[in-house]
Amino acid sequence: MTDALSRRRRPTLATVAATAGVSVATVSKVLNGRSDVAPTTRARVEDVLRGYEFPPVARRTQPQPATTVELMFDRDLHAYSAEVAHGAIDVGEELGISIVISIRADSGGRYRQSSPTEWARELASSGRRALVTVTGSLTAAHVNALRAQGIPLVVVDPLHVPHTRITSVGSTNFSGGLEAGEHLLSLGHTLIGYAGGPITAACSQARVAGLRSAVEAAGLTLPEGYVRFGDFVYESGFEDGGALLDLPRRPTAIFAGSDEMALGVIEAARVRGLRVPEDLSIVGFDDTQLSRMASPPLTTVRQPLHEMGAVAVRTALRLAAGETIDSHHVELATHLVVRGSTTAPAPAGSADTGR
C-alpha cells in the first residue's frame, strides 16, 4: 500500500510545471539547484514539490555553473549604454546570474575575428545562455548562427524595424517626438529644427515623424532643410546643430535625437553667441545623466533605458528556459522631462516663421 501511494505521488515534471504555472525547464532548474530562478518562482515550485516524493537522484547537490547572459554593445560605452547596462546588471544581481559585457566594435573581439558560425559556437561553449544586443545591427548570418546554437537573442532599442523572428525591447519613439514637438509649440515656436541619428534608424524616423505630426497639427510645416540625420553622438549634434543655426532663417528651437546630440547643439549655439533658452530652446532624448549635468539642465524625452535593459535580460532568460512570450516586440513608455533648456518663450518676432 505504501509503495503504491509513493508511486502515485511521483509525478512527471510536466505535472509539477502545470500545477505551479511555470515551464518544465523552470521546474528542472529548481530540482537541480540552479541559481537562475527568481525567488518567488522558486518558492512556488518548491511548495508544489513538497507534496510529492522524488528519487534521490533527482535532486543534485553539487554546485551548478552560473547562468551567463552576454550583453553586447555596438560601440564604446557612453551615458546611454551605461543606463542600459545598469538595468541588465541589476536584474543579474537579483536573479543570481552573470552579465558579461562585450563591445562589437572592438576589432580584437570574437565577433570580428570569427565567422558567424564560429562566433556563435564560442558563445555556446563559453556557457552563454542568451545574448542581449543594444541597437542590434547583427547580420542575418549572425542571427541564424545564434539560432542554430540555441542561443536566444533579444535586441534593445533596435535600429531597424523589428523582424517578427527577432525579439526586441524599445520605447515609444513616435510619442516621444510628438510630446517634444507639442512642448516647443506651446512655447510659441513656429520654426523647429530636428537633428537626429542615422536616417536608416527606425527610432530616428519615428522621432521625427512624431515631431512632424505635432507641427502639422498646429497648421505649420517642418521644412526638409530643417531635418538633419547624423549620429547619436556629441560631435554630430555640434555639426548638425550648427548647420541648422546657420540657415538664413534659423530655427528658434531644435529637437535633438539624443542627449549627447543636444549637448552638441548647445555648444554650437554658444559659439554663435546664442543663449539657451532665451534665443534657442533645445530638447533632447534619453534622459541620461548628461541631461542633468548640462548647462542649462536639459529638457528631454525620458527613454526608460534602465528598464529596457532589465526587461531584455528577463525576456532572454524566459526564452532560454523555453517559455513562450506574449509579444516579440515590447515598447516602454516615454515621457517629457522639462528642465532649464526650454524655460523661456520663443524669441519675439518669430511668431510668423514657418508658416
pTM above 0.85, yes or no: no
Phi/psi region, residue 236 (left: phi>0; alpha: psi -120 to 50; beta: rest), is alpha
Q: Does residue 194 or residue 62 have the better pLDDT?
A: 194
Mean of the per-residue pLDDT values for the chain?
A: 86
Residue 67 predicted with pLDDT over 70: yes
Q: Does residue 325 or residue 113 have the better pLDDT?
A: 325
Residue 57 predicted with pLDDT over 50: no
In the chain, beta strands by DSSP E: 68-73, 98-103, 128-134, 153-156, 167-171, 192-196, 227-229, 253-256, 281-286, 299-302, 329-332, 335-337
pLDDT, position 161:
60
Residue 129 predicted with pLDDT over 70: yes
Spell out the domains of the chain, with CATH numbers in brackets.
2-58 (1.10.260.40), 68-171+307-333 (3.40.50.2300), 173-303+337-342 (3.40.50.2300)
Distance CA 101, CA 309 (A): 12
Share of residues in the chain with pLDDT > 70 (%): 83
pLDDT, position 349:
66
Whole-number Cα distances in Å, 269 to 184, 219, 244, 253, 350: 17, 27, 10, 11, 17
Each residue of 211-264: pLDDT tens digit?
A: 999 999 999 999 989 999 999 999 999 999 999 999 999 999 999 999 999 999
Distance CA 208, CA 194 (A): 7
